[in-house]
Amino acid sequence: MKVAYIFSTNLAHFILSNMIVPQLEKGMHGVDVVGMFFFVDNTFLLVRGNDVGERLSNIAKKSGMLLMACDRCAIERRIDGDLVEGAMIGCFPDLYKALGEVGIDQAITL
């Protein structure tokens, strides 16, 4: 099953660092995560030097997983030029296009 995560709550850091990222690193998450989209302050997770973002970047390099920050959120926070390697900024049309090309079975908002 191919899934995409959309991070919009203030619990995203906890969920990623304690659950999802360790499972992905061990290859035991149980599904193929093809994309992650970050909103509002969750965009800070993708800033270079952030442990979660750097770990996600390494996972994305190996798996081809999409890492995308909301463009407006990243620009308003002045981090659009400071994202981890492989992460991009975009809006819903960009997300739909990228995920449509790989096909997903489920989108999960956390």
Residue 4 near residue 36, CB atoms below 8 Å = yes
The reported pLDDT for the residue numbered 14 is 97
> 3-state class of 44 per DSSP?
helix
pTM of the entire predicted model: 0.95
Tell me, what's the pLDDT at 88?
A: 97
The one-letter code for the residue type at 76 is E
Predicted pLDDT at 21: 98
- Whole-angstrom distance, CA of residue 108 vs CA of residue 110: 6
In the prediction, which pLDDT does 86 show?
A: 97
Look up residue 87 and give its amino acid. Answer: A
- pLDDT tens for 19-75 read 999 999 999 999 999 999 999 999 999 999 999 999 999 999 999 999 999 999 999
